[in-house]
Amino acid sequence: MSRTSKSIVAAAMVLIMVGALLSGCSKSVTEPGASGTPEKVTLRFIGMEQAGMTVDEQKAVAKEFEDKHPGVTVETTFVSYDALHDKLATALAGGGTAFDVLVVDNTWMAEFAAAGWLMDVTDKITPEMKQQTVDQDVTWRIVTYNGRLYGMPWMLDQKYFYYNEDMLKQAGFDAPPKTWEEMVKMARGMKQKGIVEYPIIWSWAQKEASNVDFVTLLYGFGGQLESAPGVASFNDDGAKKALQFMVDTLKEGISNPASTVSVEEDVRNTFSAGKAAFAINWLYMYDLANDPKESKVAGKVKLAMMPVSEAVLAKGIPSATSNDSMGMAVSAGSKNKELAWEFLHYFTSPEVQKRYAAHQLPIWKEAFSDPELLKAQPVTTKMFMEQFPYGHVKVHVPYYMEYSKIMQLSMQYAFSGQKTPAQSLDEAVGQVNKLAQQYKQ
């Protein structure tokens, strides 16, 4: 081979490689949907594989939408709650084309909206739509940031108090506890009689799940998350009593020691295996814990109002729980925003929500007077309406993920005995308020 032909061969190879590299880059930018015929559109939906509607139910809704819209394909992706935020954040930060329709927790809405990642749908929500939902204020707060709306409320959920009726009867109790103190007494009785080793199971792992239980107990002991808008106060008297209660019941073996590494699914598994008399969980557990295929205690599972402390009950407040709801939003980077909105609209419509109400109740007021729904879900619909007025929403700030971690850790330090509950909460509130200052800069 002559010198020049060698150079030509080499130069050609360089060109080919560079060309391949560049075309590889540009290909990832164009949408696969755009290359086909114009009518063929692919919508990508990302949802959650935990609490609420099951994956199969969500897939079924996507299928219904496909049938109604020829040419439209809906691709679904499901991840666990604890993986969802990071998956959404990376997809949205990367341009937001990876998913068109997203399930977004109420606590992430501020963060994503502030970053400009969600489609502003304020003009699409009519006053009638607002009036038709269960509670105008609480329901729409899920998707509101700075007075603008960024999606549709989708799952109105709150923590419910579950108990195993059989175990209570065996121990000689004929009604569920009204206060946390009463629950502790009943638990002691059951433990002594050997009915159950650890009477209550919670989701207190170092995850978001622990904050939900903490908020429930914090309000149950008379505390408040904020003393004024933007000023954290989860180190007030009620909060400290709540965390002390958590630590004490762990020490005494009333709360299952595995609580501190459990999330909601672990709670469901433990309770369904008959290894707990009481449990705190979302609505979805009611159907699953009463399903003989999923549970050893099917038929014995009952719901009651979330207890409060004796002191709070004496003030005339009979219950306190966490209201932790999720919305659905359209990615600002979506190539098919209108169609995506239509899908989201269909997904959250009264008609669809009523049909899939076993694990997640509708956001629509009229559904709760619909005889068919009341007949299909007699227990949960009634419990939902009773418990809903006592729900407390978490804070909505763009730096929530860091806030959340600080709160989770404040509990963990108290559980492991590295700090006292009071010290741990004081430090955490100091950190959160510093975070708020930093964000304002």
Decide whether 22 or 231 has the Cβ nearer to another protein.
22
Single residue of 412, 420, 423, 433 touching another protein by CB under 8 A: 412
Decide whether 144 or 360 has the Cβ nearer to another protein.
144
Q: At what angle do helices 55-68 and 337-347 cross, to 10 degrees?
A: 120
Helix (H, G, I), strand (E, B) or coil at 329: strand
Q: How far is the CB of 411 from another protein (least distance, A)?
A: 9
Q: How far is the CB of 211 from another protein (least distance, A)?
A: 13
Residue 231 binding another protein, by CB under 8 A: no
- By the 8 A CB rule, do 338 and 121 touch? no
Instruction: Name the one range near another protein by CB under 8 A: 8-16, 55-63, 64-72, 140-148.
Output: 8-16
> How many Cβ atoms sit within 10 Å of the Cβ of residue 229?
6
What x/- string results for residues 197 through 226 when contact with another protein is judged by CB under 8 A? x-------xxx-------------------
CA-CA distances (angstroms) from residue 318 to 165, 286, 305, 414? 21, 22, 8, 28
Site for another protein in 113-152 (CB under 8 A): 114-116
Q: How far is the CB of 72 from another protein (least distance, A)?
A: 31
Residue 335 binding another protein, by CB under 8 A: no
Q: How far is the CB of 171 from another protein (least distance, A)?
A: 20
Give strand pairing partners of 102.
46, 329
Single residue of 57, 405, 427, 436 touching another protein by CB under 8 A: 405
- By the 8 A CB rule, do 115 and 399 touch? no
What x/- string results for residues 352 through 391 when contact with another protein is judged by CB under 8 A? ----------------------------------------
Residue 273 binding another protein, by CB under 8 A: yes
CA pair distance 317, 304, nearest whole angstrom:
15
Q: Which helix (H) or strand (E) holds 246?
A: helix 237-252
Decide whether 257 or 299 has the Cβ nearer to another protein.
257
Decide whether 260 or 281 has the Cβ nearer to another protein.
260
- By the 8 A CB rule, do 259 and 265 touch? no
Q: How far is the CB of 271 from another protein (least distance, A)?
A: 11
Residue 277 binding another protein, by CB under 8 A: no
- The DSSP 8-state label assigned to residue 259 in this structure reads G
Q: How far is the CB of 6 from another protein (least distance, A)?
A: 5
Give the DSSP per-residue string, 150-176.
-SEEEE--B-EEEEEHHHHHHTT--S-
Single residue of 100, 105, 111, 342 touching another protein by CB under 8 A: 111
Residue 82 binding another protein, by CB under 8 A: yes
Question: What are the two backbone dihedrals, phi and then psi, of residue 51, each rounded to the nearest 5 degrees?
Answer: 50, 165
Q: How far apart are the first and last CA of the chain?
A: 67
Which residues, including other chains, have CB under 8 Å from residue 147's CB and lie 6 or more apart? Answer: none
Residue 29 binding another protein, by CB under 8 A: no
Decide whether 94 or 378 has the Cβ nearer to another protein.
94
- By the 8 A CB rule, do 208 and 326 touch? no
CA pair distance 238, 212, nearest whole angstrom:
16
Which residues, including other chains, have CB under 8 Å from residue 316's CB and lie 6 or more apart? Answer: none
Single residue of 51, 54, 58, 85 touching another protein by CB under 8 A: 85
Which residues lie near another protein (CB under 8 A)? 3, 6-7, 10-11, 13-14, 16-18, 21, 82, 85-86, 89-90, 93, 111, 114-116, 197, 205-207, 256-258, 260-261, 266, 269-270, 273, 275, 398-399, 401-402, 405, 409, 412-413, 415-416, 418, 439, 441
